[in-house]
Structure 1
Amino acid sequence: MRILIPTDAWTPQINGVVRALSTTIAHLRDMGHEVLPIGPDRFRTVPAPSYPEVRLALFPGREIGRIMDGFRPHAVHIPVEGPIGLAARRQCLKRGWPFTTSFHTRFGDYFAQNLHISAAVPYAFQRWFHNAGSGFMVQTDTLARELAARGFRNIKRWNRAVDTELFQPLGDRDFLNLPRPIFINVGRVSAEKNLEAFLKLDLPGSKVVVGDGPQLSTYRARYPDVHFLGYRTGPDLARYFEAADVFVFPSRFETLGLVSLESLACGTPVAAFPVPGPLDVIGNNPVGVLCEDLRAAALKCLEIDRATCRSYALTFSWRKCTKEFLDNLAPIH
């Protein structure tokens, strides 16, 4: 198949959406499919408000139409509701092509919690965007039920997995040379990740944050006892996961939380709030602790066997997830 993926979330951005898409594309190509991503790098861009590292394409519609006509895809998947996603959606509707979309961001919950704007408005926009397609892929059963109750249609499951060859115990747990226990968070350093819930915790040992984002300088000044180590990727990132004793995941608005699986693959248990995302990844499995008392959860995780975390992560297969993605696509006849 020739599969076109117009996406506002693409390299060099570093986030869970990009990792999920790039890994899926790699597996699709290994299966013999031809995949063409269309990212912001093809267009003139401007920085997103408050997130200068995220670039927004300017007037991509005509170029996307030209690419569609030249590539002649057998299927189109549009994952993000940005300028590229809106333009691709419009071009598909114009041509009478079916297309699929996927859910990656809880804009409604974030707006309500942090901006005090009714969640109804962003959810109405997302519902309008996704319901025009022939399939709407979501990561978990919890999310599927929630979005169905909000009026989303044509919902299909597209699970997530973890690269267990990249993220694995490497036997180098002491390279950070910090007092133990080491509690780590990996991800965007920004307000919507609820990172301060972790930074404020009174924990023994050391607290480490791996990542970058708009709040980095603010948090670094506000929490001088925390070690902010910037972005890490690939095998280097896996070393940081393994070096930690506990991965603390304070976000309340995740669709899944791929970083939790990456941590488990490196043998590090997860402490999180009992909310969608962590509930779907961890649940009642003995690989983490979910509790509204995040400090208690983090300390309880110190008792968890690291080998159990690794074994659990091995059950999440990207090959299986990619097959689900393929089965969900809407062929263009």
Structure 2
Amino acid sequence: MRIVIVTDAWHPQTNGVVFTWTYMQRELGRLGHEVQIVHPNGHRTIGMPSYPEIRLSTEPGRIIRAALAEAPDRLHIATEGPLGLAARRHALARGWQFTTSYHTKFPEYVHARVRIPLAWTYTLMRRFHRPSRAVLAPTKAMVDELRGWGFAQAQVWGRGVDQDVFQPGARDALDLPRPIFMNIGRVAVEKNLEAFCELDLPGSKVVVGDGPARARLQRQYPRVHWLGMVNHAQLAPLYRAADVFVFPSRTDTFGLVLLEAMACGTPVAAYPVTGPIDVVPPRGGVLSEDLTAACRAALTLDRNEVAALARNASWQQVARDLLAQMQHTLPKRSALRSAA
């Protein structure tokens, strides 16, 4: 079966969208399917405002027409950017059915930067996803939230962890005073890293990653250890070196880093919000509005038990679940055009 996945986010970007579809390409291929990822690389792009490292296509229609010259067996639109919009338009014009996914709380991200009311941006997002046969979101909490905003066809589609890479092992990657409290991810305003940097904790705080807020935060918090960007395949030793993985974000739909940390045996401290409340089980971490208390309590958890709790999340099962969600979306004539 030929499956086409359209995404505005792709390598060399480092984020959950890219990793999710990279793993899906691998696992769907292992299941015997032909997978084509349509992305902006190799074409003319411009930097996304406030995120110049995220490149947006300036010729999405041409790219989509070439990629979808022949109808695929399944079409999934992963993002709401220029390529996603062009793929949506192309599919509706031909009466093709498709699925979409909701990876990013874009309305909240916009609101954090320019204070546009959430309802305005959710109206645009709802219009984008309305023709989709299923809007795939990573947790039940996220699905409930989307349905509250009028996304009636929202469905749960979970995430996995690469257990060949992220597993317990040596914890000597960092020579810093313990306990070590760590965050790994994009350094941007919506990640709420100030809340982590300001915690009154013993030992060391470490931030791994890069992003538009790094220079400012590094100047503001010189006692935090800023390690910069690290290749995804080389993160496991850092996860293992940490005593607690601290996740201060209140706007993530999932947080793949949560599963990766737990798979390495490192307990999580986070707020009880969408993402952590579904991903972090009891004994896998501590969720509290008092993030300092959560960090201190997480130090007492059994690392072997934490790792065991993450072993049920496999990318192969995630791929099978994706196929199940796609099973009724054939590229045939339909009434979807009227839903645009």
Q: TM-score range by the shorter chain?
A: over 0.9
Unaligned runs of 5+ in 2: 333-340
1:149-206 CA distance string (max 9 Å, x none): 21113222211111111111222x1231100000000000110101110011111110
Taking only the aligned residue pairs, the percentage that are identical comes to 49
Partner of 1:177: 175
2:227 aligned with 1:223, yes or no? Answer: no
Partner of 1:331: 330
2:274 aligned with 1:279, yes or no? Answer: no
Question: Which amino acid is 1:123 matched to?
Answer: Y
Partner of 2:51: 51
Q: Give the secondary-structure state (helix, strand or coil) at the position aligned to 2:35.
A: strand
1:264-300 CA distance string (max 9 Å, x none): 00000000001011000114x1110101111110111
Equivalent residue in structure 2 for 1:310, among 303, 307, 310: 307
2:63 aligned with 1:63, yes or no? Answer: yes
Question: Which 10-residue stretch deviates more, 73-82 or 104-113?
Answer: 104-113
Are the counterparts in 1 of residues 269 and 298 from structure 2 also a CA contact under 8 Å?
yes
Q: Give the secondary-structure state (helix, strand or coil) at the position aligned to 2:26.
A: helix
Q: Give the secondary-structure state (helix, strand or coil) at the position aligned to 2:175.
A: coil
TM-score by length of structure 1 reads: 0.96
5 Å-filtered alignment, 1:1-333, equals 1-70=1-70, 72-171=71-170, 173-283=171-281, 285-329=282-326, 330-333=329-332
Unaligned runs of 5+ in 1: none
RMSD: 1.2
State how far apart, in whole Å, the 1-side matches of 2:290 and 2:112 are.
19
Are the counterparts in 2 of residues 43 and 60 from structure 1 also a CA contact under 8 Å?
no
Are the counterparts in 2 of residues 9 and 39 from structure 1 also a CA contact under 8 Å?
yes
Question: Which amino acid is 2:309 matched to?
Answer: Y
Shift in Å at residue 143 of structure 1?
1.4
Are the counterparts in 2 of residues 157 and 324 from structure 1 also a CA contact under 8 Å?
no
TM-score by length of structure 2 reads: 0.94
Shift in Å at residue 62 of structure 1?
2.3
Q: How many residues align?
A: 330
Shift in Å at residue 113 of structure 1?
4.5
Question: Which 10-residue stretch deviates more, 239-248 or 99-108?
Answer: 99-108
1:240-277 CA distance string (max 9 Å, x none): 00000000000001111110000000000000001011
Question: Which 10-residue stretch deviates more, 228-237 or 173-182?
Answer: 228-237
Shift in Å at residue 111 of structure 1?
3.3
